[in-house]
């Protein structure tokens, strides 16, 4: 009798019934970029410590950062910074009680994504 009752119970909603929302992506990417910035910071600290104590090690780390792989890491770290920064500003507005209606949430999410890309390209080309 217990088994028959369990078979008639409704199932929890599955992921395939949910519609995509920008807030999912922005929320997950905010966490990922926080971790990525930590890793980028460790690379910057290693570069600065090597510059202070070992010219040989500094030239190795500097050479790595100037390689194409290093440029990709720098570009990614720069994007992580801008994304995290802009999304942090978005969260500050939410903390003040602004921007909770659906159209504003959707628009501000896309502003964070597109703004981080534009600011990353601009920063990378300038510096």
Domain boundaries along the sequence of the chain: 22-126
pLDDT average, residue stretch 39-57: 95
Q: Are 71 and 80 a contacting pair, CB within 8 Å? A: no
Q: Whole-model pTM?
A: 0.82
Indicate the CATH number for domain 22-126: 1.20.1300.10
pLDDT tens track for 16-43: 677 778 888 999 999 999 999 999 999 9
Q: How confident is the model at residue 1 (pLDDT cuts 50, 70, 90)?
A: low
pLDDT tens track for 6-19: 666 666 666 667 77
**pLDDT at residue 4 is higher than 60:** no
Q: Name the 3-class secondary structure at 8.
A: coil
**pLDDT at residue 47 is higher than 90:** yes
């Amino acid at each position: 009798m217990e088994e028959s009752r369990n078979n008639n119970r409704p199932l929890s909603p599955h992921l395939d019934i949910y519609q995509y929302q920008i807030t999912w992506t922005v929320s997950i990417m905010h966490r990922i970029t926080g971790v990525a910035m930590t890793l980028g910071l460790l690379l910057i600290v290693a570069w600065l410590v090597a510059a202070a104590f070992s010219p040989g090690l500094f030239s190795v780390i500097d050479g790595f950062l100037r390689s194409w792989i290093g440029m990709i890491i720098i570009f990614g770290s720069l994007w992580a910074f801008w994304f995290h920064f802009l999304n942090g500003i978005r969260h500050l507005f939410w903390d003040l009680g602004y921007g909770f209606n659906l159209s504003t949430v959707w628009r501000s999410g896309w502003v964070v994504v597109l703004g981080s890309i534009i600011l990353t390209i601009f920063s990378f080309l300038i510096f």
